[in-house]
Chain A
Amino acid sequence: MNHFLPASPVAVPLSIAALLAAVNQHIPRRLADALAMAASLWSVIACLWLLMKSSHGLMVYWMGGWAPRNGAAIGISFTIDPLGAGAAAFASFLVFVALVFSAHYFDSVGTIFHVLMLAFLGAMCGFSLTGDIFNLFVFFELMSAAAFALCGYKTEESGPIQGALNFAVTNTIGAFMALSGIGLLYGRTGALNMAQIGKSLGQTHDGLVVAAFVMITCGFLVKAALVPFHFWLADAHAVAPTPVCVLFSGIMVELGLYAVARVYWTMFHGALAQFEAQTRAIFVSLGVLTAIVGALMSFAQRHIKRLLAYSTISHTGLMLVAFAMLAHGALAGLALYVLGHGLLKGALFLSAGILLHHLGSIDELNLRGKGREAIRASGLMLFLALGLSGVPPYGTFLGEALIDSAAEKLHYSWISYIFMFAGIVTAAAVLRVAGRIYFGWGQDLDRSQQDEGETDEGRETSGGQEVPATMFVPTLVLLLLGLGISFIPGLRVKTQAAAMEFMDQGAYQQQVLEHAAPPAYVPPAQESLLPGIIRGIVSTLLALVLAGLVLLPHRLRRGIEGFSGGVSFVLRPLRILHSGHMGDYVAWLTAGVAAIGGLFAYFIH
């Protein structure tokens, strides 16, 4: 069993995917559904088991038994720790939920959708579990290729094609950058195992190491959609089938950040240790910029999925800020934040999918005043919006509290205002949507806003008067889990211990290369959550106020006209920058890499 289980979250979905591809169209749709769900459920169980096992120390699994000799690793390993296994388990769970939700989707085609979903799942699991940098790249590309195909799945429309092209080109460039960095590292160290590379690099931080660090980090940050690499994300989310958006926002984007954290702490931590303050400053600025741009752009949208996509960009900015603290408390907070955010954002996308199924539109202004019909379909949106602002007891609140208290110790306590700002604006955007759709508040469709690109999308299902249980139940489950994770006893302590294990480069090397026994990690005493609770409640109230202001009837708006004028003054140029032109996106990407590389080169030499 021990030889099969660690690889099974990758092997089982990929095998089932191959099987389904082979029998495409020759088996009943329901059987394909069942097989795909079973495979994803297997991955959930296997990853949870790995999570439990690895909480007492790393699990190192050498493919084909090629274990290291005399401290030199030649084989390819899965190096499993609780955070990696947790990410894989969460990815598998979201795939399962998405498969249940899509039971009413795409009646016409064979099993292609299932095949792509399972390949995507296998790649995400492998990506989370691997301990080999080239393996990481291969899973990254497999994950990307499956994601591109899923994004452009609705080939009969023009939007998905354009969105998928933008997504594929930018992410492939990111992958090439990461690969070049990996090539440079291999040239320096002659190793591909991350523990081995970290050991060989030691404390050296010459130009080559810094260049490799910047290229690998930027490559993965493209996937994590940080400003200015973020343009593809909104396009991809606006056009991808709704169940796929759940995976994109809920876990794929976060995995980009996971990879940055993983390579930093396994390979570069020793080399960059004396530049921690500079590294922190660079990543914090990038994250803050992303959080603000994402929140503003989110507020400016009327296409609901696009709005949620920009909200995801804003939240990944916050996640990068949390990573940038380079402290175990913040990393534990980050892990919980990813979990809480993924559940909420997944449920929000599912709600949008239900609206599209039920009412045939996801344009906020088109749907204005659909009233009771819409509430019955997706009234949960109201509750989900509150979670984005981090009100207790949503999981996001718990993560935010941990990040804030870690930041305070590093004299970065001001970032809690950035968390509040992003939370308030993104929550208010969703609340505004809810108010307009359910209660018909706010202005009616303004014909002058017609020239703003894609605002709506075609149905993905055959539609219907009833909302099927396979759509409603997954949404509700995600919402309840998003609320419930805060109440899991000991979750905070265990996540902190896992974060300490994740960050311990020395112990990682010894366990992988020398079969050393794992050290025991004792997390510090837990701090009071009271300041976090107060902040969460204040943010939520402010989000309600902001949404209310926007939805005021015309004659009451006079008093705030200056305010809204100022907002559009900022938003107009920002929206023009999001030109939808692939060349522009790549130019921004290049400029971003040059800027980040320049900053690192300046600080480290």
Chain B
Amino acid sequence: MNQAASEFLRMLPFLVAAWLFVVGLYGIVTSRHLVHLIMCLVVVQTSTYLLLLGVGYKIGAAAPIFADIPVGTPAVDPVTHALMLTDIVVEATVMALLLALAIQAEERAGSVDPEQLRIMRG
């Protein structure tokens, strides 16, 4: 693989992460349905997964399971995986809570369109 291509591959996860963050925000800003809006928030969140994994990844390195690889083999950074898993767990809670609120919004206010849910203005 030539230099430019490998540099591009190295940058790719970060470029995609930035794209996901921005496109998720765009979805939230323009959303007309709470469930869609919350899924856009999940898209923003996936950007953080990709960023963390990209940070820990090394091209050509093994998985960080040290039981059956020789000592000294380069491995990808397991810490970022732990961070990402924690991120998933924490945010699963938040997303569940948000979806529960969306159900309540439909029941109490009769709408899941942010345009209609504006009694908090001024």
* Contact status of A575 and B21, CB under 8 A, knowing A138-B90, A165-B117: no
Among the stretches B1-9, B64-72, B96-104, the one at the interface with A is: B96-104
User: Do the beta carbons of A583 and B28 come within 8 Å of each other?
Assistant: yes
User: Do the beta carbons of A587 and B55 come within 8 Å of each other?
Assistant: no
How many Å lie between the Cα of A447 and that of B115 in the bound state?
Answer: 25
Residues of B within 8 A of A180 (CB): 17, 21, 47-48, 51
User: Do the beta carbons of A141 and B91 come within 8 Å of each other?
Assistant: yes
User: Do the beta carbons of A145 and B28 come within 8 Å of each other?
Assistant: no
Give residues of chain A (548-599) contacting chain B, Cβ–Cβ below 8 Å.
Answer: 575, 578-584, 586-587, 590
User: Do the beta carbons of A179 and B87 come within 8 Å of each other?
Assistant: yes
State whether the Cβ of A327 lies closer than 8 Å to any Cβ in chain B. Answer: no
How many Å lie between the Cα of A266 and that of B57 in the bound state?
Answer: 27
User: Do the beta carbons of A138 and B118 come within 8 Å of each other?
Assistant: no
User: Do the beta carbons of A144 and B118 come within 8 Å of each other?
Assistant: no
User: Do the beta carbons of A165 and B102 come within 8 Å of each other?
Assistant: yes
How many Å lie between the Cα of A132 and that of B46 in the bound state?
Answer: 23
**Partner of A145 from B34, B79, B97, B115 at Cβ < 8 Å:** B97
State whether the Cβ of A402 lies closer than 8 Å to any Cβ in chain B. Answer: no
State whether the Cβ of A216 lies closer than 8 Å to any Cβ in chain B. Answer: no
Residues of A within 8 A of B47 (CB): 176, 180
How many Å lie between the Cα of A159 and that of B47 in the bound state?
Answer: 31
* Contact status of A590 and B25, CB under 8 A, knowing A161-B109, A162-B120: yes
How many Å lie between the Cα of A162 and that of B120 in the bound state?
Answer: 7
**Partner of A172 from B30, B52, B94 at Cβ < 8 Å:** B94
Among the stretches A149-157, A221-229, A461-469, the one at the interface with B is: A149-157
Residues of B within 8 A of A155 (CB): 104, 108
Residues of B within 8 A of A454 (CB): 119-120
Q: B2 CB to closest chain A CB, in angstroms?
A: 24
State whether the Cβ of A158 lies closer than 8 Å to any Cβ in chain B. Answer: yes
State whether the Cβ of B76 lies closer than 8 Å to any Cβ in chain A. Answer: no
State whether the Cβ of A490 lies closer than 8 Å to any Cβ in chain B. Answer: no
User: CB-CB contacts of B6-44 with A at 8 A, as 1s and 0s?
Assistant: 000000000001000100010011110010011001001
State whether the Cβ of A148 lies closer than 8 Å to any Cβ in chain B. Answer: yes
State whether the Cβ of B83 lies closer than 8 Å to any Cβ in chain A. Answer: yes
Q: A133 CB to closest chain B CB, in angstroms?
A: 10
User: Do the beta carbons of A162 and B55 come within 8 Å of each other?
Assistant: no
**Partner of B120 from A145, A184, A235, A587 at Cβ < 8 Å:** A235
User: Do the beta carbons of B120 and A239 come within 8 Å of each other?
Assistant: yes
Residues of B within 8 A of A138 (CB): 86, 90
User: Do the beta carbons of A162 and B105 come within 8 Å of each other?
Assistant: yes
Name the CB-closest residue of B to A168.
Answer: B98
* Contact status of A586 and B104, CB under 8 A, knowing A162-B119, A165-B98, A179-B87: no
State whether the Cβ of A242 lies closer than 8 Å to any Cβ in chain B. Answer: no
State whether the Cβ of A103 lies closer than 8 Å to any Cβ in chain B. Answer: no
User: Do the beta carbons of A179 and B48 come within 8 Å of each other?
Assistant: yes
How many Å lie between the Cα of A144 and that of B83 in the bound state?
Answer: 18
How many Å lie between the Cα of A151 and that of B66 in the bound state?
Answer: 46
State whether the Cβ of A183 lies closer than 8 Å to any Cβ in chain B. Answer: yes
What is the predominant secondary structure among interface residues of chain B facing chain A? Answer: helix
A interface size (C-beta, 8 A): 53
How many Å lie between the Cα of A604 and that of B41 in the bound state?
Answer: 31
User: Do the beta carbons of B121 and A579 come within 8 Å of each other?
Assistant: yes
Residues of A within 8 A of B101 (CB): 148, 152, 161, 164-165, 168
State whether the Cβ of A390 lies closer than 8 Å to any Cβ in chain B. Answer: no
**Partner of A579 from B17, B28, B77, B118 at Cβ < 8 Å:** B118
State whether the Cβ of B114 lies closer than 8 Å to any Cβ in chain A. Answer: yes
User: Do the beta carbons of A453 and B118 come within 8 Å of each other?
Assistant: yes
How many Å lie between the Cα of A587 and that of B86 in the bound state?
Answer: 28
Give residues of chain A (182-227) contacting chain B, Cβ–Cβ below 8 Å.
Answer: 183-184, 186-187, 190, 192
Q: B29 CB to closest chain A CB, in angstroms?
A: 4
User: Do the beta carbons of A186 and B122 come within 8 Å of each other?
Assistant: no
Q: A220 CB to closest chain B CB, in angstroms?
A: 16
How many Å lie between the Cα of A157 and that of B93 in the bound state?
Answer: 23
* Contact status of A586 and B28, CB under 8 A, knowing A173-B44, A183-B83: yes
State whether the Cβ of A238 lies closer than 8 Å to any Cβ in chain B. Answer: yes
B28, B87, B122: most-surrounded residue (chain A CB, <10 A): B122
State whether the Cβ of A250 lies closer than 8 Å to any Cβ in chain B. Answer: no
Residues of B within 8 A of A583 (CB): 28-31, 114
Residues of A within 8 A of B30 (CB): 583
| A–B pairs, 10, beta carbons within 8 Å | A141-B91, A142-B90, A155-B104, A162-B120, A173-B28, A173-B41, A186-B52, A187-B55, A582-B114, A586-B28
A interface residues (Cβ-Cβ under 8 A, vs B): 134, 138, 141-142, 144-145, 148-149, 152, 155-159, 161-166, 168-169, 172-173, 176, 179-180, 183-184, 186-187, 190, 192, 234-235, 238-239, 300-301, 452-454, 575, 578-584, 586-587, 590
Name 12 extra pairs, CB < 8 A, besides A152-B101, A183-B83: A145-B97, A165-B117, A180-B48, A183-B80, A186-B52, A235-B120, A301-B122, A452-B121, A452-B122, A581-B118, A583-B31, A586-B29
